[in-house]
Amino acid sequence: MFGRATEQTRDFAEHNGKIGQEFVDGAGSIGGARTGLLNKADEIDRGDLYVSDGWVVLIKAAPMSEEKVAALMALIEAEQAVINELLLAVGAADDAVADAVMAGAAELGFVAPSTDGLGGLMIAGLQRPDDEVPNPSNHIGLFQQAVMRGEEMATTVREVKEEIVNHRGDYGEPRKTLIMQDGSKQVLWEFGPPGHRHMTTTHYDPDDKMITTTDSWIDMWGNKRLDIEWADGTMLNGSETPDGVIKMAFTLPDGRYGVLPPDNPLLTGAVPTTVGGAMTGLSAHVGRGGSLPMLDVDATKNVGAGAKFGGPALGVLTTAYSMASAETPYDACVSGFAGGFQIVGEIGGGAAGAGAGSLVPFGQAVAVPALAVGTAYLAGDWMNTLGTKVGETFCK
């Protein structure tokens, strides 16, 4: 009896030792692959490019010419290919360790429970974890990298032009043009007589086609007005009476109409102050009872080359959608601008699903020649219908 127990214990210890050695060997292989990836990222970071937390190679925010952006995009293509290869090596090393450990456990008689059905959901750790960053081994992962790069380029200013137009004696209309890394533009224009100023921000894609136009003004009766129009005909109209009654509503191209609920934090003032300011060109409207977000010339005075700017339309939509989809008031308050816009990921389906999200046509996610390594999914390709996507949340 004791001999049999000794033999079984010896076999158990031997198999456990093999499994332990797999972890030791795996630490070396994973560590080596990870070191190679980190070293390459550090090398890239020392130049005009940098590597994001999602392992996407991006252009650093700085003043630069169109020609320099084009040269850096060519460099991105080469560097992203190397990063992708090293990233896949880390994933392969991790998978190899997991497979080796499972094989060693199988020699001990271990049979992994089925991952199908309810059991697979209830027992933690049975399913292999989903990708936390875009997986460059497939078309969707390459598409996600392009989406992230396109969003970053569409909200990073590379050049600023300021001018005074329509001179009438001592009076003129200031106009500021923000040119983004991707070639899209945001034109901020203040006009009208003193005391009755009208502000507008028009967003153009790299081909100078209008994406959105945002207008805000105070009418002769003292009502505040905010209108946003998208290229596809979607409208968002907001108003605030002198006694503080606020209303915002979407009108979709097909005629559907939906009013934002009065408790939406976008209207009540519970939105973080970051909804206003240089990132959006909107006044920070958190206060007693809230206020209609309005275009604010002071908010963009210091926006220069190298700054981040998403524009008022993107700011309002990101916040409105996040508020509508959040599960709790706290989630609603913090979700709108946490970590920047990330609008395609937020509304289009997240890092693991942007390609299949209804914001972005799925067919484009598998167009390999058009979305190869190092490309960018440009602003005009997804912002044109953004108003409809968000408006449908309120127009059911």
Q: Which helix (H) or strand (E) holds 171?
A: strand 171-180
The residue to which tokens 């390609």 are assigned: 355
Say what the pLDDT of residue 106 is.
67
Q: Give mean pLDDT, residues 329-349.
A: 39
pLDDT at 142: 86
Predicted pLDDT at 87? 93
Distance in angstroms (rounded) separating the CA atoms of residues 153 and 160: 15
Question: CA torsion sign, 201 to 152 to 394 to 230?
Answer: positive
Residue 249: band (very low, low, confident or very high) from pLDDT cuts 50, 70, 90: confident
Q: Are 322 and 336 within 8 A, CB to CB?
A: yes
59 CB burial (10 A radius; 0-12, 13-18, 19+):
buried
Q: Residue 337: what pLDDT? A: 32
Q: Select from 320, 312, 313, 338 the least CA-distant residue to 391.
A: 320
Determine the length of the chain: 396
Identify the burial level of 215 via C-beta atoms within 10 angstroms of its C-beta, where 0-12 means exposed, 13-18 middle and 19 or more buried: middle
Confidence of residue 288 (pLDDT cuts 50, 70, 90): very low
For the residues 206-229, what does the mean pLDDT come to?
Answer: 90
Q: Is the pLDDT of residue 294 over 60?
A: yes
User: Looking at this protein, which amino acid is placed at residue 20?
Assistant: G
Q: What is the DSSP secondary structure assignment for residue 251, as one 8-state letter?
A: E
In whole angstroms, what is the distance from residue 317 CA to residue 211 CA? 14
Mean pLDDT for the stretch of residues 246-260: 85
The half-sphere exposure of 277 on its side-chain side, counting CA atoms within 13 A, is 10
What pLDDT does 350 receive? Answer: 36
DSSP three-state, residue 215: strand
- For 105-139, letters b (16+ CB in 10 Å) and e give beeeeeeeeeeeeeeeeeeeeeeeeeeebbbbeee
User: Which secondary-structure segment (H or E) carries 151?
Assistant: helix 139-154
Q: How confident is the model at residue 223 (pLDDT cuts 50, 70, 90)?
A: very high
Specify the pLDDT at position 160: 93
Does 274 or 29 have the greater pLDDT score?
A: 29
Distances (CA, A) of 42 to 35, 52, 78, 110: 10, 11, 16, 42
What is the distance of C-alpha 43 from the center of its chain?
A: 25
pLDDT of 371 above 80? no
Exposure of 218 in the CB half-sphere (CA atoms within 13 A): 13
User: pLDDT by residue (tens digit) across 149-196?
Assistant: 888 898 899 999 998 888 777 778 889 999 999 999 999 998 877 777
Report the predicted TM-score, pTM, of the whole model to 2 decimal places. 0.74
The predicted pLDDT at position 302 comes to: 76
Q: How many helices (H) and strands (E) does the chain have?
A: 11, 11
Mean pLDDT of 236-251: 88
CA distance 235 to 317: 12
Tokens of 190: 């203040």
**Residue recorded with tokens 């003004």:** 217
Q: How does residue 385 score in pLDDT terms, banded at 50, 70 and 90?
A: low
Q: Lowest-confidence range among 174-178, 309-313, 349-353? A: 349-353
Return the structure tokens found at 123.
């027992």
End-to-end CA gap in the chain: 74
